[in-house]
Amino acid sequence: MKLVQLLLPLNDNSGKKFPKKFFKDIKEELTKKFSGVTAFSQSPAEGVWEDEGYVQKDQIIIYEVMVAEFDQNWWRDFKGKLEAKLKQEKIVLRWFDVSTL
């Protein structure tokens, strides 16, 4: 099994919140494709990184999906679509091997 995580910013680059519909649509698409999704949305996490000497911060929501196989092409296309929709240079998408009882 693989655990796939998407780290999505809650705000655009100017600090304006994205419409809730964006996140609802993403959740619905993942649920339809993979029969479920976990959204960590109650307490947004904070991402911090340094870029050209400046500290950048984002409030993020994390979506997780468990899949038997990781289809890299599908996820690459999905990630690209989200980056365009949310006007982001990069969205973090990561996956891990997981075991369940």
The arrangement of strands across the sheet holding 54-67 comes to 38-51, 54-67, 2-9, 92-97
Q: Render pLDDT for 89-100 as a digit per residue (tens, 0 to 9).
A: 899 999 999 998
Q: Render pLDDT for 35-78 as a digit per residue (tens, 0 to 9).
A: 999 888 766 666 666 777 777 677 888 999 999 999 999 999 99
The structure tokens 């500290």 sit at 55
Whether 94 and 75 have beta carbons less than 8 Å apart is answered as: no
Q: How confident is the model at residue 32 (pLDDT cuts 50, 70, 90)?
A: very high
Instruction: Say how far apart CA 90 and CA 87 lie, in whole Å.
Output: 9
Instruction: Say how far apart CA 74 and CA 91 lie, in whole Å.
Output: 15
One-letter amino acid for residue 52 of the chain: E
Give how far the C-alpha of residue 91 lies from the chain's centroid of Cα atoms, to the nearest Å.
Answer: 7
Q: Please indicate, yes or no, whether the overall pTM of this predicted structure exceeds 0.85.
A: no
Quote the tokens at residue 83. 């980056």
pLDDT of residue 48: 66
